[in-house]
């Protein structure tokens, strides 16, 4: 038996290689919270929260104030009985989901060390590696094509193109990349930037020009479930929910109302407990799954790598933050080109 002794937080800043531009947002850096969960035998489990005000309404300085309450909630509880611990942390599903994710992973990480078994094997051990796409943020047409060519030269087989601020420019940029890289496949992410009719116009342009567009991610506002369904019914391209799908209850509604073909699970939105529930909901309803990330550094991306390889639930993997940040120290994973491989 191993008991949790304390949980501590540390606020860090990570920097992008170049400004990261999505719909109505440009950032050069992001804040992450490093989480350490110490057991009474000296084992330390690590996790990370990558807070988002845009998606979750989180503010980093506010989340830091949860350190003492969370530590008190978990102190002297058995780390190997992680399900009841997850249930306790589910109280933070709406107020601090990224913290919930990081602390839940720190619990699994400590348990993993205790029993000498990697987290991905605890979660099922379904895959030995995943391949990530590479994200090209909003930029000029020339820069978009240049960045896409560089990513292709590095071996990335799927590009995620950000759109959503200017419909004609967005269409022109995607078509220019397609012309430069005719065999490339794409995920296109509007980050809630379009109206339903604009989204359909964009999709029609992609279909008519033969763009290999695997997914159209979050074309409309997060609360516009009717709009998502409208785009799905009229686009001819699989529709994926991101900002609309935070908790298991969001996922259940999206599935029940037939709004989407795919759901993008991000641990920073859902935590591990809700992510596991969404996996089973999607499997039961034959809805596809993508796994994404925010701005996680080495520890944070390890969480998603182990989750994805453990469950084997995803056909699309958007875990490219290690390739977008200036400095990342891998934690219990390694890279081989666009492959991410979990290690113990």
Residue 73: CATH number of its domain: 3.30.390.10
C-alpha to C-alpha distance for 94 and 191, rounded to whole angstroms = 20
User: Within this chain, do residues 146 and 286 fall inside the same structural domain, yes or no?
Assistant: yes
Q: Which residues are bridge partners to 155 per DSSP?
A: none
List CB contacts of 214: < 8 A, sequence separation 6 or more: 158, 185, 186, 187, 238, 316
Q: Which residues are bridge partners to 10 per DSSP?
A: 34
Assign 3-state DSSP to the chain and report helix, strand, coil percentages, each to 5: 45, 25, 35
Write out residues in the chain with pLDDT < 50, as ranges. Answer: none
- Quote the Cα angle for 211-215-220, to 5°: 110
User: Within this chain, do residues 17 and 148 fall inside the same structural domain, yes or no?
Assistant: no
Using one digit for the tens of pLDDT, what is the confidence trace for 194-244?
A: 999 999 999 999 999 999 999 999 999 999 999 999 999 999 999 999 999
Does residue 269 carry a catalytic annotation? Answer: no
Residue 94's pLDDT is 86
Q: Name the active-site residue from 31, 246, 266, 269.
A: 266
Q: Name the active-site residue from 31, 100, 162, 246.
A: 162
User: Within this chain, do residues 138 and 78 fall inside the same structural domain, yes or no?
Assistant: no
Residue 178: CATH number of its domain: 3.20.20.120
User: Within this chain, do residues 81 and 161 fall inside the same structural domain, yes or no?
Assistant: no
Does residue 197 carry a catalytic annotation? Answer: no
The residue out of 82, 116, 150 marking a domain boundary is 116
User: Within this chain, do residues 143 and 273 fall inside the same structural domain, yes or no?
Assistant: yes
Q: What is the pTM of this model?
A: 0.97
The residue out of 116, 133, 155 marking a domain boundary is 116
Q: Which domain holds residue 8?
A: 4-116
Q: Are strands 239-241 and 158-162 parallel, antiparallel or unpaired?
A: unpaired
Using one digit for the tens of pLDDT, what is the confidence trace for 42-78?
A: 999 999 999 999 999 999 999 999 999 999 999 999 9
Residue 152's pLDDT is 98
Residue 344's pLDDT is 86
Residue 160's pLDDT is 98
User: Within this chain, do residues 163 and 305 fall inside the same structural domain, yes or no?
Assistant: yes
User: Within this chain, do residues 126 and 43 fall inside the same structural domain, yes or no?
Assistant: no
């Amino acid at each position: 038996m191993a008991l949790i002794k304390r949980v501590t937080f540390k606020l860090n800043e990570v920097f992008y290689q170049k400004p990261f531009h999505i719909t109505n947002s440009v950032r050069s850096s992001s804040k992450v919270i490093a989480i350490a969960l110490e057991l009474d035998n000296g084992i330390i489990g690590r996790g990370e929260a990558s807070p988002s005000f845009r998606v979750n309404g989180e503010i980093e300085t506010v989340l830091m104030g949860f350190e003492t309450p969370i530590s008190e909630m978990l102190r002297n509880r058995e780390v190997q009985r992680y399900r009841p611990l997850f249930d306790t942390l589910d109280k933070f599903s709406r107020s601090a989901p990224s913290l919930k994710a990081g602390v839940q992973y720190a619990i699994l990480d400590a348990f993993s060390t205790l029993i000498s078994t990697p987290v991905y094997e605890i979660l099922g051990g379904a895959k030995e590696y995943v391949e990530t796409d590479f994200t090209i943020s909003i930029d000029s047409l020339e820069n978009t094509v240049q960045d896409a060519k560089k990513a292709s030269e590095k071996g990335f087989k799927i590009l995620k193109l950000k759109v959503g601020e200017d419909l004609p420019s967005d269409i022109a940029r995607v078509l220019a990349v397609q012309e430069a890289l005719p065999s490339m496949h794409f995920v296109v992410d509007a980050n809630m930037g379009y109206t339903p009719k604009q989204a359909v116009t964009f999709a029609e342009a992609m279909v008519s020009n033969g763009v290999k567009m695997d997914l159209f991610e979050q074309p409309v506002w997060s609360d516009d479930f009717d709009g998502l369904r409208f785009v799905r019914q009229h686009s001819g391209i699989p529709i994926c929910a991101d900002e609309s799908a935070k908790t298991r209850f969001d996922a259940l509604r999206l599935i029940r109302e037939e709004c989407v073909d795919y759901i993008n699970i991000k641990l920073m939105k859902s935590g591990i407990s809700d992510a596991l529930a969404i996996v089973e909901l999607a499997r039961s309803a034959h809805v596809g799954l993508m796994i994404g990330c925010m701005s996680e550094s080495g520890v944070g991306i390890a969480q998603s790598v182990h989750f994805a390889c453990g469950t084997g639930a995803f056909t699309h993997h958007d875990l490219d933050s290690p390739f977008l940040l200036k400095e990342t120290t891998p934690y219990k994973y390694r890279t081989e080109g666009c492959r991410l491989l979990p290690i113990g």
